[in-house]
Amino acid sequence: MQRHFRILFLAVLGTAVSHCHDASADWRQFRGNATTGEAAGESLPTAWDDEGDGKIAWRTDLPGRGVSSPIVVGKLVIVTASSGFKQDRLHVLAFDSETGRSVWERQFWATGRTLCHPTMAVAAPTPASDGRRTVAFYSSNDLVCLDLDGNLLWLRGLGYDYPTAANDVGMASSPIIVDGTVVVQVENKGESFAAGIDIDSGMSRWRLDRQQAMNWTSPALCRGNKGPLVLLQSPGKLTAVDPVTGRQVWEYVTGCAGIPSVVADAKQVYLPAGGLTALKLTGDKAELAWQENKLGPASASPIVRGERVYTINSAPALSCADVASGEILWRVRLTGPFWATPLVAGDYLYCVSDKGVAQVVRLGATGKVVSQHDFGEPILGSPAASDGALYFRSDAHLWKIVKR
C-alpha cells in the first residue's frame, strides 16, 4: 500500500513567513482542535449589521470552488479550493489573518477521480494542521502535506493504491491529526478503508478495511484509557481505534447516519444513529446511555458543549438536549437548509445555511435567534473561530468577522 508515492506539481507561488503563536487560539481542523465544534474561551461578535457588536474586517477572493472549512494556525487562515473544467487543479491557500492578504498559494494537479455532484467540489474535505504542518485532502483522494511556509513536504495520491475508492457524488470526509498521525477515512461502494499516515514521512502506519457503502462522515476524537482514540463512523457501526497503530479498542454495531459525524466529550459519545444515540465511555469500552429518535441531525453534525448537545434536523429546527438523559429542553426554528456544521462559543451558537444566511442563536433556558446576516452566496463550509474572530467561506470568497 506504500508502493505509490508520487509528487506532481503545477506551480509554486509565494513567500516565506515565520510562525510563533499560542496554539490554544487556533482552529486546526474540522469542528476545531478537539473536533467538538466548541470554540472554548472565545468571545465572538453576535451581530455584524450596522448596529451590531461586530463588523466585516475583510473579504478576499478565492480562485476556485470549495465546500471545505477554513482553519486558523497562528496568523494564517488556510483554505482549499479546486478549479478548472474538471476541478482537477487543487489549491492550498494561506492568508494573513490580520489583513486578508495572500501569504502563499500552492497548486497541484489531481491524480485521482474528480467527478462530483454540481453542488459539491473536489475541495470538500477540510484541511488539518498540527501547528507546524498542514495537510489538505481532496475528493480525488490526493493528500498533500505542506509546512507553514507553503513548502511541499510530501504528496500521496491514494487513488493509486485504491483505484476504485470513489463515487459519483464526491468524497467529503475530513482528515484529523493526532499523535503525529494523519487519519483519513475513505468509504464508498468501491474500495473502502481508513488509514493512519505518518505526518513526518507520508508513509502509512496502518490501514483498516471498511464497509463498502456510501459514507461522508469524518473521523473524530474521544478519550481512551491510555490517550486519545479516533472514532470512525460507518453506516453499520462505530469503531474506536488507536491513532498510532490502528488497533481496534471497541466498536458499537448499529445503523449510523452517513453524513453527520459523531462527536464526543470527556464522558460520552454522541452518535447520529436512531436519531441520536449517547454511548457512555467506561474504560476502553462504550455502553448505551440513551437514545432519542427526535434528536436526529440532517446533514450538519451534532455539537456538544458542557451539559448540552445540539442538533439541526431537516425542518430545520435546532434542538437542545441534556447530555445525561437525552431529554429535549427546547427547539428553535432556523432558516435553512443546512449542510455546514455550526460552532458554539460561550452562550451563542453560530450556523450558516446553504443559501449563505448566517444565524446566531443565544443559548440558555430557551434558544433565540438574535441576529442574521445574508452573505449573498451559497455557503456549505462550516465556520471557524480564532482569537475573537469568525471566518466563513463560499466558493468565491473568504470573510473575517470581528468585534467593533
CA atoms within 13 A on the CB side of 232: 27
Return the pLDDT at 21. 52
d(CA 273, CA 81): 31
* Among the ranges given (105-109, 127-131, 185-189, 368-372), the one the predictor scored with the smallest mean pLDDT: 185-189
d(CA 144, CA 106): 10
Instruction: Please check whether residue 284 is in contact with residue 260, taking contact to mean a CB–CB distance below 8 angstroms.
Output: no
- pTM of the full predicted structure? 0.93
Return the pLDDT at 16. 36
**Biggest distance spanned by C-alpha atoms of the chain:** 59
Return the pLDDT at 265. 96
At 309-351, the pLDDT tens digits run 999 999 999 999 999 999 999 999 999 999 999 999 999 999 9
Which amino acid is located at 370 in the chain? V
Distances (CA, A) of 107 to 55, 80, 101, 143, 164: 32, 10, 18, 13, 25
Flag whether pLDDT at 199 surpasses 50.
Answer: yes
With bands split at pLDDT 50, 70 and 90, how would you rate the model's confidence at 18?
A: very low
Instruction: Please check whether residue 363 is in contact with residue 306, taking contact to mean a CB–CB distance below 8 angstroms.
Output: no
Mean model confidence pLDDT for the chain: 92
Return the pLDDT at 118. 82
At 204-233, the pLDDT tens digits run 999 999 988 888 999 999 999 889 999 999
d(CA 111, CA 12): 17
d(CA 369, CA 387): 24
Return the pLDDT at 169. 80
d(CA 8, CA 11): 10
Return the pLDDT at 138. 96
Instruction: Please check whether residue 400 is in contact with residue 57, taking contact to mean a CB–CB distance below 8 angstroms.
Output: yes
Instruction: Please check whether residue 42 is in contact with residue 388, taking contact to mean a CB–CB distance below 8 angstroms.
Output: yes
Name the one residue in this structure whose C-alpha cell is 451559497: 378
**Domain 11-403 CATH superfamily:** Quinoprotein alcohol dehydrogenase-like superfamily (2.140.10.10)
At 68-80, the pLDDT tens digits run 999 999 999 999 9
At 280-316, the pLDDT tens digits run 999 889 999 999 999 999 999 999 999 999 999 999 9
Name the one residue in this structure whose C-alpha cell is 497548486: 107
Return the pLDDT at 109. 97
At 33-43, the pLDDT tens digits run 999 999 999 99
With bands split at pLDDT 50, 70 and 90, how would you rate the model's confidence at 8?
A: very low
Flag whether pLDDT at 241 surpasses 90.
Answer: yes
- Give the domain ranges of the chain: 11-403
d(CA 252, CA 243): 18
CA 48 vs. chain centroid, Å, equals 24
* Among the ranges given (7-16, 51-60, 372-381), the one the predictor scored with the smallest mean pLDDT: 7-16
